Structure 1
Amino acid sequence: MERIRDLSSKTAAVIFTKSSCCMCHSIKTLFYELGASPAIHELDKDSEGREMERALQKGVVIFTKNSCCLCYAVQVLFRDLRVQPKIHEIDNDPDCREIEKALVRLGCANAVPAVFVSGKLVGSTNDVMSLHLSGSLVPLIKPYQSFHK
C-alpha cells in the first residue's frame, strides 16, 4: 500500500499501532527506553487504518545484515520455497543497535535474521530451520508462495 511506504520513508523507525493495544504500548515504550525516536502511527485513529493493518499483516519480512551468512541462508531457503520476502538490511541503519536489541527482546535468540510471517515473529535461523525440518514452515508460508517461474 502506497500510504504505508510513504509513512515509512519519512523516518528510520515507524511503529504502526493501535491506541488500545497493551502490546503496542510495550513496543513503543521499548523503543523510547532504547533512546530511539520512532514515528508512531495509530491505525485505529486513521480512516484507512483497517486497510493499512491488512496490508501490514501480509507476507514474509526478514531483518538481516548483509555480512551475515545465516541471514543469506535463510533468504535462500525462502526463495527456494518460492517466497519473495521483504528484506530489511539493518547494517546501514543509524538505529541498527536499537533494532537488534528490540528484536532480541521480542524473542529472537539472535537479532538477525529475524523472520516475521503475517506480522508474527517466527524467530531466527534455528527456529526457521526447525519449522522447515518438521514440515511446519511450508503450510505457514503457503499463502505467500509464487508458482510463477
Structure 2
Amino acid sequence: MRIEEEESPVKRVERMISENPVVVFSKPACFMCFAIKILLASIGVHPMVIDISSTDDLLMFNSSPTVFIGGEFKGGIETIVSLHVGGRLIPMLRDAGALPISMPSFS
C-alpha cells in the first residue's frame, strides 16, 4: 500500500466496527471499562477491545467505555447495563452474531 493509500484513522475505526459484532473502546485504568468487559464476558461475549489511550488518532472517543454492537453505536456502561437489566441486551448480541442463536441446555 502506498502512503497516500493508507487507511485514515476514521476509516480504520469504521472498518473495525463493521467487521466485529461487538467493539469496546476502552481506557486501561478505567473501572467502568473493566466493568463493561466483565459484564460482556459473563454473558459469553468476547468483544474487540480497543485501547484508546495508546494512539492519539483514537482519542475521538473521549468518553469510555464506548460500545458498538452490530456496527451501531450503543453508548456507554449506563446504556449497556440498562439494556441488560431490561432483557434487551442478549437478543441484541444474538442479532449481531456475538452469541449463538440458542444457548445450550444444562438440564
Q: TM-score, normalised by structure 1?
A: 0.54
Alignment correspondent of 1:94: 56
Alignment correspondent of 2:22: 60
Are 2:68 and 1:116 aligned? Answer: yes
What is the alpha-carbon distance in structure 1 between the residues aligned to residue 57 and residue 20 of structure 2? 25
Q: Percent identity?
A: 26
What is the alpha-carbon distance in structure 1 between the residues aligned to residue 99 and residue 27 of structure 2? 24
Work out which of the residue numbers 7, 13, 19 in structure 1 matches 2:9: 13
What is the alpha-carbon root mean square deviation over aligned residues? 2.9
Distance 1:71 1:12, change over 3 A: farther
Number of corresponding residues = 94
Alignment correspondent of 1:144: 98
Q: Given residue 72 of structure 1, which amino acid in structure 2 is its aligned partner?
A: F
What is the alpha-carbon distance in structure 2 between the residues aligned to residue 91 and residue 12 of structure 1? 18
Residue ranges of structure 1 left out of the alignment (5+ in a row): 1-9, 17-37, 42-51, 102-110
Q: Given residue 98 of structure 2, which amino acid in structure 1 is its aligned partner?
A: Y
